[in-house]
Chains A and B, each alone.
Chain A
Amino acid sequence: MNARDAILARVREALTVPGPGPHQRAGEMAGHGAAPHPAPPPLGSLPVLALEAARPWLPDGGATPEERLSLLADNLGKLKAVFHCVPTIHAAQDLLFSIARERDWKRVAWHAHPLVEPILAGIPCATHKVDSAAGVVADLATDAGARKDALEACDAGITGCEALVAQTGSILVSSATCGGRALSVLPPVHVVVATPEQIVATLADAFDALRERHGKSLPSMLSFITGPSRTGDIERILVLGAHGPKELIVILVG
């Protein structure tokens, strides 16, 4: 018997003996007057799905767009991410320009995306020749694949996102629509550009948005990014920028 069949046979054999149902304790010590386990509900006929049961009890995601926006801003702040809300692409360009100047970026990485490209035009990079006294920022597009060491040497990665989750302050990125796997995690600063329509209330709504967009063929990687990379491994003291970005900047346009 191969390993797969052997393991499945063991599992099936084990499950022939019924155990307690959900939310039931295994009982007091058997042999001390405890009643035998009540029969579990037949499998596959659970009264409710876990999510349906949990939806009303989980942290709130906001009922209206305004509530969701303020919850998102609040959560991002607590996570030590930077959150900007700007009215137009033009304003976003100016913002990115000042961020790039302030941090003295030399190289940025990006990917083809309806929001990323226009906002990139705000900084004087090779792709978008802008006359500027500040000098030219080198740029690297990851769409056709980029050398790992070149990407590693970039000061920032600029990406779009699949959704923003108000409930947790998370940004959902995917390998298919956000410049691959490494762009959002290898450079020390991650800039996310999004629109208010991309804000969803809860994680479950983010999954719905994914299914709507990709159907059954989901991208090979989906990642909920919640704040800049962090660790508490040294004496449980919080340090940002463990291996991923030290800074997460979210720019909401519109």
Chain B
Amino acid sequence: MPPHPSPTASPHPGHSGDPVGGAHGAKKQFLRDAREYVRDTDHRAFLRRALAGYYTTRDGQKARYRDWEHARDAANLAKWNAVNRLDEMLVRFADTFEAGGGKVHWARDAAEARSIILGIVRDAGAKAIIKSKCMTSEEIHLNAALEAEGYGVVESDLGEFIQQLRGEPPFHFVFPCMHVRRGEISKLFEEHLGSAPTESPEELTMIARRYMRRLYVEADVGITGGNFLVAETGQISITENEGNARLTAALPRVHVALVGIEKCVERLDDLAVLLPMLATAGTGQPITCYNTLYGGPRATGECDGPREMHVVLLDNGRAAILADPEQRDSLQCIRCGACLNVCPIFKNVGGFTYGTTYQGPIGSVITPHLRGLGDWNHLSQASSLCGACTDACPVRIDIHHHLLHNRRNAVRAAPNRIERMGHRMFAAVAARPQLFAAGGALFRRSLWLLKKLRLPLLRDWIASRDLPGAPARSFRDQWRHRAAPAVARSRPSTGGGAR
């Protein structure tokens, strides 16, 4: 294979997904990046434009369902069933898949998964590796491990390819380069592939297409992810739009799929529910362009396809989520990306700020479990708790309540004494009307002073919010001296509740 256009050596600091300095560093990085992104109004407008079409296309597709809300219940049922019987599902999947001639590997953590895949690549005597989009491989930093051993690996998904050339992780786990403008892509291709500059998304896509064709033909090993593991039939299901995963699993001699253990469903028929819903929720399509099931390597009598197929089942913290019954349902996630698309926080701080493999609301829920190191609960604080994510989720994961659960867990693990003292004091005052009135009067008069003093708790709060001025009179005082109830003014059912 010709020398692969090597990505810039080190990912952007703070974009690596593994901030140095552990969780404390992660929180600092979050706050710093969030501040930067939020100030970049161009960038925010660009993200909004990119996602603007999503709502209309999604709602158009949802309207084709005879009842979307009930269909969500069914999708939830399919995944609930598999997650709550995960041991059964995994054993059944593994046995059935191996009966079809493939091999199943089990990886407890990222290091084990990397060494399994390196072993397969070595045994295959691979010279060139082609990859299709696989978030689990981002999770275990597979590309870096392969490159460290001297293997060239090319991401074939257009968005992932662009991110690879940029030396950045994906910005959004479904739309990896949605933050990049076409001009930047043109420059990138000019620099790495020697193509002519162009502003046309079509031409840019064709440049990547032409570049990749030869690589599919020449690669010895193809690495993919997997969206579902079908226990009943021992198949993995891969969902994609571009056809790159189809090619990756068709042309190389060896096919390796790295899949999280939670991806199980029990029956093939479950996919008749999940495949359309995944697409509708995630991208607003009726169904994704290619939905492909692989039951093993080329079977006898078939004319092409890999000679070997390996499925690597990755735990890497998933069993820890399973062990928390309260948040177990977050394993039902089918990674459609809908919760990111509708999240006001995501749209303002962007994907890199999270510093995680899985961005957005679902990432904030599962990362503290998956990372296992330190405390990622600050992500759960970065939420308005509007619940848009929960409403968007096709499998009905209770996402925004889990953000609350994480906050509660964080407080339990490290109680904030000052805050607690404040709450106690407020409770004591609020229970005594006279004290409450006196306290209120004092507060109204000294609010300006509080603003000036910039006490630590208040300082963070008012850094990005205006603290309103205090009214001259308390509510109770105003109520007592209100004008006589104006019956005539409160005519029923007019005015649309603008008051």
Chain A interfacial positions (CB closer than 8 Å to B): 2-4, 6-8, 10-15, 17-23, 25-31, 37, 40, 43-44, 46, 48-51, 53-54, 56-60, 75, 78-79, 111, 142-146, 148-149, 152, 167-170, 175-176, 179-183, 185-186, 202-204, 207, 217-237, 239, 241-245
Contacts and interface: CB of A to CB of B under 8 A. Distances in A.
Contacts of B76: 22-23
A79 B289 CA distance: 9
Given A54-B273, A242-B209, A149 B158 contact: no
A38 to B, nearest CB: 12
B158 A234 contact: yes
Interface of B: 50-51, 53-54, 64-68, 70-71, 73-78, 80-81, 84-87, 90-91, 94, 100-101, 105-108, 112, 156-159, 162, 175-178, 180-182, 185, 201-202, 204-206, 208-209, 212-213, 216-217, 233, 235, 241-244, 246-247, 249-251, 261, 267-273, 275-276, 283, 286-299, 301-305, 313, 315, 319-320, 322-323, 325-329, 396, 398, 401-402, 404-405, 408
Contacts of A225: 289-290
Given A7-B108, A17-B325, A222-B292, 20 more contacts: A7-B90, A7-B261, A11-B322, A22-B76, A49-B267, A50-B81, A56-B70, A111-B303, A142-B303, A170-B287, A175-B299, A220-B101, A231-B242, A233-B157, A233-B162, A233-B176, A234-B201, A235-B178, A235-B201, A243-B243
A25 B201 contact: no
A49 B303 contact: no
B303 A179 contact: yes
Contacts of A226: 286-291
A220 B100 CA distance: 8
Contacts of B401: 25-26, 28-29
Contacts of A29: 401, 404-405, 408
B323 A23 contact: no
Given A233-B176, A236-B175, A223 B325 contact: no
Contacts of A243: 156, 158, 209, 212, 216, 242-244, 247
A70 B294 CA distance: 31
B154 to A, nearest CB: 12
25 contacts: A4-B106, A7-B319, A8-B87, A11-B319, A14-B319, A26-B398, A29-B405, A54-B272, A56-B67, A58-B272, A60-B66, A143-B303, A170-B291, A181-B304, A185-B247, A218-B293, A220-B101, A226-B286, A236-B50, A239-B201, A239-B205, A241-B205, A242-B243, A242-B244, A243-B158
A21 B296 CA distance: 34
Contact of A26 (B246, B272, B303, B405): B405
Contacts of A168: 276, 286-287
B304 A182 contact: yes
Given A59-B65, A235-B181, A181 B250 contact: yes
Contacts, number: 338
B247 A19 contact: no
Given A14-B319, A149-B217, A220-B297, A19 B328 contact: yes
A228 B66 CA distance: 27
Contacts of A148: 216-217, 251
Contact of B233 (A2, A12, A30, A218): A218
A231 B304 contact: no
A234 B182 contact: yes
A83 to B, nearest CB: 16
Contacts of B105: 3
B86 A182 contact: no
Contact of A21 (B67, B80, B273): B80
A229 B305 CA distance: 20
A146 B180 CA distance: 39
A94 B85 CA distance: 55
Given A14-B322, A31-B408, A223-B291, A203 B271 contact: yes
Contact of A20 (B156, B235, B329): B329
Contacts of B108: 3, 6-7
Contact of A235 (B182, B295, B319): B182
A23 B73 CA distance: 6
Contacts of A51: 74, 78, 267, 269-270, 272-273
A233 B323 contact: no
Residue of B106, B216, B289, B404 ringed by the most chain A CB atoms within 10 A: B289
A139 B119 CA distance: 40
A189 B283 CA distance: 25
A29 B407 CA distance: 10
Contacts of B233: 218
Given A30-B326, A207-B272, A176 B292 contact: no
A84 B143 CA distance: 44
Nearest to B302: A175
Contact of A224 (B249, B275, B327): B275
Contacts of B297: 220
Contacts of A202: 272
A19 B326 CA distance: 6
B289 A26 contact: no
A54 B74 CA distance: 5
B305 A175 contact: yes
B286 A75 contact: yes
Contact of B299 (A58, A204, A220): A220
Contact of A236 (B51, B74, B247): B51
A227 B285 CA distance: 11
A205 to B, nearest CB: 9
Contacts of A203: 271-272, 275-276, 287
A218 B180 CA distance: 42
Contacts of A229: 241-243, 289-290
A180 B303 contact: yes
Nearest to A59: B64
B71 A58 contact: yes
B84 A19 contact: yes
A127 to B, nearest CB: 17
Given A15-B322, A54-B70, A241-B209, A181 B290 contact: no
Contacts of A10: 315, 319, 322-323
A160 to B, nearest CB: 14
A152 to B, nearest CB: 6
Contacts of B64: 59-60
